[in-house]
Amino acid sequence: MEKELNWCGSMDCGECSWLWSTWVKAPILANSDLLIASACLPVVNPELFKQLSSGRTVLLACPERENPTHYGKIASIIRSSRPRRITIATIDGSPHCFMLHASANEAEYIVGEKIDKEHFVVVNGKQLVRISPHAVRVARYLSIVNEVLEKNPEIVERLTSLSKEYRAALNLSDRASSYE
């Protein structure tokens, strides 16, 4: 029997709302332990989502479906409701999900205050990995990422095991070279 989707569009997410649909001064946000999670996380790994959301105010976001400029909304929540902590949890490898992490860092910059925040990604739908805010910032600068890859080519081997898109790109390269 299939699980039914609840009002926020996700399985088993309980009392959650959409980031874009939530008033920045909503009483539930004041002094909260706020989880901003990718909207697909409750579907990808319901148990992990349940663990992450326990005791937290949950806002779901999907930059692919919504306006991707979440930084302004997050900054307004910080300024207006003063959550005591913000946790961002998304799917590793998703270019859309990455924007939520970058938006949280950008919101901190806009507000001009250090915010107690944590970044997590779910790798291959199973493993929760804590990500440094520095890693999020570095990922925005492709010239630095390129330099790291040139010095550490073994990282690309790890990418092969994680990214279906990368493996497909390699296959396309192989096919193109066979035509030459």
Render pLDDT for 60-101 as a digit per residue (tens, 0 to 9).
Answer: 999 888 877 889 999 999 999 999 999 999 999 998 899 999
On average, the pLDDT of the chain sits at 88
Report mean pLDDT in 10-residue bins for the chain, 180 residues. Answer: 37 71 94 96 95 95 85 95 97 93 94 95 96 95 95 92 90 63
pTM of the model: 0.85
Annotation: CATH topology of 16-140:
Rossmann fold (3.40.50)
**120 strand-pairing partners:** 89, 130
CA distances from 90 to 18, 48, 98 (A): 14, 11, 8
| Neighbouring residues of 29: CB distance < 8 A, sequence distance ≥ 6 | 22, 57, 77, 80, 81, 83
Domain regions of the chain by residue span: 16-140, 142-180
**Tell me, what's the pLDDT at 174?**
65
